[in-house]
Amino acid sequence: MPKDRFIILVRTLCGLLFLSCPQAYGGAASGSQIGSPATEGSENPRLEDRLGQVLSAPVLVRSSWGIQVQSLDTGKILFAENPHKRLIPASNLKLLTAVAAIEDLGLDFRFTTRVLTDGRIEDGTLEGNLIIEGGGDPTLGARFNSPDLEKLEEGDPLAVFRQWRASLRHLGIQRIRGRLLADDSLLETEGPGRGWSWDDLVYGYGASPSGLQFNEGVALVQVSPTHLGALAHLLWRPGTPLIRWRNQIRTGPYQELELKWTSLEAEVILEGGVEPSQEPVWLSVAVRDPGAYLINTFAELLSSSDLEVMGVREGGNGHAVPGESRTELFSHDSPPLAQVLRVFLKISQNLYGETLLRMLDPAPRGKRVQEGLTRMESVLTHRVGLEADSFLLADGSGLSRHNLISAGALMKLLEHVHRQSYGPAFRQWLPAAGVDGTLRRRLKAPGLKGRVQAKSGSMEGVRGLSGFLETVHGETLAFVMLANHLRGDEAELESLQEEFLQVLADAPRTGPSPSSSQ
């Protein structure tokens, strides 16, 4: 073959090979939704190539990923991998619950608890029962009087009951001839969520919501070492007869502290080991009957004062039947939804999400999960603009493995938040990298600390991180990273997330800033 014809043939074959497999030559595959190509002659790999290198780590080879990165300044999609694949989001689902609650309930929404009676006040005596009618308020307890909202143990769980006792005295009530009754009928009692793990139900993060709840449905227990070989010391706060427990935690070599049920609503076993020099640690245990928990704790406080509840001695406390003739004595309002969402998102408080989900049910009483999910789906599709087949909801917290959503759908949600008047506040409610919430101890690199506001999510085999990032060049990005079927060291997986975000933080601008284009 003549030399010139051979050269032409080689060039033709190389051109065909480039068209059929552009990735091999640094090009973007058709339909990959990758951003603009790199500048010719650039010595650095393109952004999408650098991000792809991070995701090629051996620990991720057998995992499933859904990722999307977008500039909120220019609208450009900078990176996408499987953006339409539905994956388990874990606590990233809380972003959907928060937005649905804002859109449907409003940021000024408050939970209201009413204190009622079916009797009358005569000569300092309440002749009748004292009824606590729940409004679903998940904030009753220690959280909102704690000097640190992230530390429930630093608050006073009985502070609200002292306020109620003062209100009763202000009304001239010195004794109650009836009983204390709980009305928790606002929310239907449905138990644990669909698809929740049995192992989660004993821990505080697995507490089920109720129309009347107290201290986020948990009892805290402080575990302190004693002397070598002896059982650790346990201090319950507040103490409650509703939890039967067996202490098997010993002082000696450290072993992970675990809670187990002997069977649901039966004895709680505390296992593990604490070192002799170890500082006390706190565990939270779910209480299975939240209404009874509140009533019993309030009754105990009243009995320790000079306000006697005479009916408790006769028949104990119990649950009220809704619809009876009642008179309101006073009421208690929660903080506004804006403050509730800050706790919900910062520390990933599951009970708040499950309560908000049920509050979306428009029914006046007996609010249910399924009706709340139906309303939430309607808000997300009609107001936020998510495609109906891009997500599947099972709860409001993300504990269920039946929840599914695509990275593209989460990105559309973040875009929606960015456009709303509440967008700047929403970003402040999210954990800030290296600063607070669930990201306090993560993403501390100089280019990330304080620049990332994101919701994390984790359960066995699942990791998620979705939120906002301001690059070192001042560009605002939104990102979604969902990973399923993971197997590996948790620290290694989180390190890869940090490396991915560091590449984004250092990336050059993709276009002019919004201010310069005006």
Instruction: Please state which CATH number belongs to domain 47-105+339-506.
Output: 3.40.710.10
Q: Determine the 3-state secondary structure of 99 from DSSP.
A: helix
Cα 71 from chain centroid (whole Å): 26
Q: Does pLDDT of 33 surpass 50? A: no
Stretch among 172-186, 372-386, 397-411 having the lowest mean pLDDT:
172-186
Instruction: Check residue 190 and give its pLDDT.
Output: 86
- By the 10 Å C-beta count (0-12 exposed, 13-18 middle, 19+ buried), 21 is classed as exposed
Give the C-alpha distances (Å, rounded to integers) separating 348 from 90, 402, 435.
11, 19, 15
Instruction: Check residue 518 and give its pLDDT.
Output: 52
Instruction: Check residue 192 and give its pLDDT.
Output: 85
DSSP class of 424: H
Give the C-alpha distances (Å, rounded to integers) separating 199 from 173, 260, 282, 321.
45, 7, 18, 33
| Four-point Cα dihedral 291, 292, 296, 302, nearest 10 | 40
Sequence-distant (≥ 6) Cβ neighbours of residue 417 within 8 angstroms? 99, 423, 426, 427
Sequence-distant (≥ 6) Cβ neighbours of residue 389 within 8 angstroms? none
Sequence ranges of the chain with CATH classification 3.40.710.10 = 47-105+339-506
Q: Determine the 3-state secondary structure of 454 from DSSP.
A: strand
User: Mean pLDDT for the chain?
Assistant: 88
User: Which of 180, 148, 145 is closest to 160 using CA atoms?
Assistant: 145
Q: What is the mean pLDDT of residues 94-101?
A: 98
Q: Determine the 3-state secondary structure of 330 from DSSP.
A: strand
Measured CA angle at 26 (ends 8, 72), to 5 deg: 140
Instruction: Check residue 427 and give its pLDDT.
Output: 98
Kindly write down the DSSP assignment for every residue of 288-314, as one continuous string: S-HHHHHHHHHHHHHHTTT-EEHHHHH
CB atoms near residue 403 (< 10 Å)? 27
Instruction: Check residue 48 and give its pLDDT.
Output: 86
Instruction: Check residue 264 and give its pLDDT.
Output: 61
Give the C-alpha distances (Å, rounded to integers) separating 191 from 210, 264, 376.
9, 11, 20
Instruction: Check residue 490 and give its pLDDT.
Output: 81
Q: Please, what is the angle between helix 47-55 and helix 490-506, to 10°?
A: 180
Phi first, then psi, for residue 114 (nearest 5°) are: -110, 135
pLDDT bracket for residue 511 (50, 70, 90): confident
Give the C-alpha distances (Å, rounded to integers) separating 2 from 12, 13, 14, 436.
16, 17, 19, 71
Stretch among 56-65, 338-347, 361-370 having the lowest mean pLDDT:
56-65
Q: Give me the helices (H) in 325-477, please.
A: 337-346, 350-359, 369-379, 407-419, 423-429
Q: What is the mean pLDDT of residues 418-425?
A: 98
Q: What is the mean pLDDT of residues 14-43?
A: 36
Task: Quick: pLDDT tens for 337-359.
Answer: 999 999 999 999 999 999 999 99
Instruction: Check residue 514 and give its pLDDT.
Output: 66
Instruction: Check residue 325 and give its pLDDT.
Output: 86
- By the 10 Å C-beta count (0-12 exposed, 13-18 middle, 19+ buried), 360 is classed as buried
pLDDT bracket for residue 500 (50, 70, 90): very high
User: Which of 303, 288, 309, 286 is closest to 181 using CA atoms?
Assistant: 309
Higher per-residue confidence, 51 vs 15: 51
Q: What is the mean pLDDT of residues 296-303?
A: 92
Q: What is the mean pLDDT of residues 80-100?
A: 97
Q: Determine the 3-state secondary structure of 356 from DSSP.
A: helix
CB atoms near residue 263 (< 10 Å)? 6
Instruction: Check residue 324 and give its pLDDT.
Output: 67
Stretch among 14-18, 149-153, 451-455 having the lowest mean pLDDT:
14-18
Q: What is the mean pLDDT of residues 455-474?
A: 96
Q: How far apart are CA 409 and CA 380, in angstroms?
A: 10
Phi first, then psi, for residue 151 (nearest 5°) are: -120, 95
Q: How far apart are CA 170 and CA 162, in angstroms?
A: 12
